[in-house]
Amino acid sequence: MDCKVNKKILHFVQNDKMCIFARMNKLNRTQLLPDRPGIPPMAKMPEPETLDVPALAEAYRLGEIDLICVLGPTASGKTRYAVNLAQRMQGASDPRALPAEILSADSRQVYRGMDIGTGKDLREYGEVPYHLIDLVPAGSKYNIYQYQKDFAAAYADVRSRGTVPILCGGSGLYIEAVTRAYKFEKENGLSAAALPQKVYYIGTLVSREERVARIDRRLEERLQEGLIEEVKGLLETVPAPNLIYYGLEYKFVTLYILGELSYEDMVVALGNAIHQFAKRQMTWFRGMERDGITIHWVRP
């Protein structure tokens, strides 16, 4: 079950507490769409499945799986799907029903105060308990080494109460670090036994056209909801380079506030960056499949 980092990760740089990882991909050879410059085309989509939720709960009860992982690119509806799945697992009249809780696998939602830009809509969870969100203050450096330890603690807590853990997110490196037991040059005291061994992966699937429309719509909504004001507030206590380091919304909005981008250029550059990011996420997940992992793709 163990997966050595150096088989997946091509660069590992450790600077004090900060780990920087980079994974090779082939995006530099991707032809851009002529109608939407900056947006890579989507590869052929996998066929969607229909899942038997009571059977999934029963498989967990029998020990056939020990974690459900809902993954997908940005704007694919994975959080909504995970919440709905948890509600169906614990609210069904079926005697196989079990309570469920969600563990986040989002590398930026760990930061407190970074809410609009990371899509941290906690209302979406409703009454479903969630974990691994708002762990550290904005401006700090949180890394995959720390995430693996925090996940192990939350995972043990959820399991100890007889509850089904549902890992949900789009950060492929974070997901694989805990579902494939990455090992690090500096030991963090975790054994593979502290991490899931039998993971059932579910991927949220949307068409390229729908994904583009959702990303554009969501960016417009976040700007209207106060994204620029959120970044201005963060800049009162967080140095600009630290916010730029977080990328996407925090990078481009910070550059706009600093006067290095016009509003129009910021919106275009940010939109294209998010589209490219979503493509890289799908490239990562399809790479997991090539490594032998079975992902059950569904339409959320």
Does the domain spanning 3-14+45-207+282-298 belong to CATH 3.40.30.10?
no
Q: Average the pLDDT over 177-185 and give the result.
A: 89
Q: How would residue 188 be classed by pLDDT, with cut points 50, 70 and 90? A: low
Q: How would residue 45 be classed by pLDDT, with cut points 50, 70 and 90? A: confident
Residue 29: what pLDDT? 22
> Could you tell me the fold of the domain covering 209-277?
Helix Hairpins (1.10.287)
Give the residue with greater pLDDT, 272 vs 42.
272
Give the residue with greater pLDDT, 54 vs 80.
80
- pLDDT at residue 275 above 80? yes
- Summary mean pLDDT of the chain: 85
Residue 231: what pLDDT? 98
pLDDT digits (tens, 9 = 90+) for 120-172: 989 999 999 999 999 999 999 899 999 999 999 999 999 999 999 999 999 99
- What is the rounded distance in angstroms from the CA atom of residue 3 to the CA atom of residue 181? 6
- pLDDT at residue 72 above 60? yes
- pLDDT at residue 180 above 70? yes
Domain ranges of the chain: 3-14+45-207+282-298, 209-277
pTM equals 0.84
Q: Average the pLDDT over 236-262 and give the result.
A: 97
User: Which of 34-48, 187-201, 229-243 has the lowest average pLDDT?
Assistant: 34-48
**Is-same-fold flag (3-14+45-207+282-298; 209-277)?**
no
